[in-house]
Each structure stands twice: as structure tokens, then as C-alpha cells.
Amino acid sequence: MGLRRLFYKREIPGPSVDLSGVIIPNPVGLVSGYDHNARLFHLSANCMYGFIGIGPVEAEATTLKNVIASLQDHPTDARINAVLSHRPTSHGEDSIIEDYNFGFSMLYDFCDMFTIDTSISYSDASTPLRDIALLKDVLNSMLQLRMCYQTYRPIIVKVRPEIPESSLDELLDFARLSGIDAICVSSGPSTVATVKKIKDKTLGRYPIVGCVDVLRKEDCAALKKAGATLIAGGLSFMHYGPGNTKRIIKYLTTIK
């Protein structure tokens, strides 16, 4: 514990970002995939991330209870972004919608924002939520459920950078009209171009989260210039040391 405190400061540097009323300490965060059951997120927070992705969290009662217990045991100033997933055994629209509603409602009071990830599959070669019609049904159900709570939690949709143009246009139209709070673009060779495309299509008025495999200041700067409001990446202290996140945050303040 002493060594960890020596290398990682607990204070999270700014500048902060306001995402639909949720104040994120800074625009640089950790992508999901490293911490499926929220067992290590509190250690990641010591690396100065403004937000931390947990999951993908499957809509299974025991898993969700364990995640909630861990979140209660380890409070952090970083914002928690829960990436939800349906169970691999769920088939059919009704079952998938029920799974997302269950995970969303169970974690609502313990997380700061939620992401529905359509970019990859967690169970097999197919990804049901790449069906825009099903995705809309899932999101509409979650949006209606959100109205039952007094506290507002942003909902983010994550897409792959190679999403077809027609699907992207349909999703952006739906997102802006329905109340989806941001679009996230997963990491890939064309991520920067897709972020720029979304910025242009929305006239720079819609929040975008851009993802990179490893947080490097050059890649983060490219995403910010393209129009990313928030930037999420993989663990970088193994490559660039424990102060890398702070250096990136400081460097991004110089990018207009």
C-alpha cells in the first residue's frame, strides 16, 4: 500500500468535462475490458483517470451483486462507466431487452454512466446489437427506465469505426432525438476518421468518446483535434510510467 501511494497520487487533475450534468474530473479514461467484475477499478483510479470502464458486465444476478459490493467497498473520485452486456444464453429480442434493463436497473445507483457496446461480441461471432432496429428497442427501453430515477445517468452507445455510413446516420438521428448522451468509437485504424465524421455530421454539438489501444499523447491529441470530447484507452503506465495520464491531460490542454 505504501509503495502504491508513493507512485500514484490520489488527486485527479482537471480540466473537468460536463457530460449531461455528470462532472468527469478530466477527459482521459480507462476503457472497459480490464476489469469485468469491478475488482481492480479502485487501483486504476490512482492512475488519475477521469473515468473508468468496468465490464462488460453480464446481466446475471450473482455477477451484478458482486460488482455492487465491490463498488460500495471502494469509493473513488473517478466516474464509473459500466459497460452492459446481455447473457450469452439470451436469444430473442425480449430476452436481450430484459437483460439490459436488469443490468441497468441493478447498477443505476452505483455507477455514473452506462455504455451499450455494439462494436464487438462477447459470446459468439455475431453481435445482435449491430441490428439497428434491435439496438433502438434496447435503448428506448432503457431510456424509459431512466425516467423512473431522480438522478440522471448518461447513456453512451459504442460503435466500431467501420460502421456503415447508413447505419451511422440512422444511429445519430436516433441518438440526438431520443436522448442518448454520447457516441463512443472503439479503437481501430479508422477511429480518428470516424470521430471526425461524427463531429462533422453533428456540427460539433454532440459528445464523442474516442478510444485508443494504449494512451499515448500523439494518439490522444489526434482524437481531440478530430472532435473527441472524452478519450478512453488501455493501461499505459506499463509502457510509459505511472505519470503518463497526468502528462497526457496536461498536453491536451495545449490542443485547440
- Phi, psi (5° rounding) for residue 222? -65, -40
Reported as a single tens digit per residue, the pLDDT across 101-115 is: 999 999 999 999 999
Question: Does residue 212 sit within a domain?
Answer: yes
Band of the pLDDT at 51, cuts 50, 70, 90?
A: very high
CB 249 within 8 A of CB 242: no
pLDDT score for 36? 73
- pTM to 2 decimals? 0.89
Question: Does residue 8 sit within a domain?
Answer: no
Q: Which helix (H) or strand (E) holds 219?
A: helix 217-226
Question: Does residue 1 sit within a domain?
Answer: no
State the total domains in the chain: 1
Please tell me which of 28-37, 63-72, 114-123 the model is most confident about, judged by mean pLDDT: 63-72
Give residue 232's domain range. Answer: 14-122+129-252
Question: Does residue 169 sit within a domain?
Answer: yes
Q: What 3-state DSSP class applies to 27?
A: coil
Say if residue 28's pLDDT is above 50: yes
pLDDT score for 150? 95
Question: Does residue 104 sit within a domain?
Answer: yes
Q: Map grid coordinates 455477477 to a residue.
A: 63
Question: Does residue 96 sit within a domain?
Answer: yes
Calculate mean pLDDT across residues 137-160. Answer: 96
Question: Does residue 4 sit within a domain?
Answer: no
Residue 246 belongs to a domain with what CATH number? 3.20.20.70
Q: What 3-state DSSP class applies to 192?
A: helix
Band of the pLDDT at 78, cuts 50, 70, 90?
A: confident
Question: Does residue 63 sit within a domain?
Answer: yes
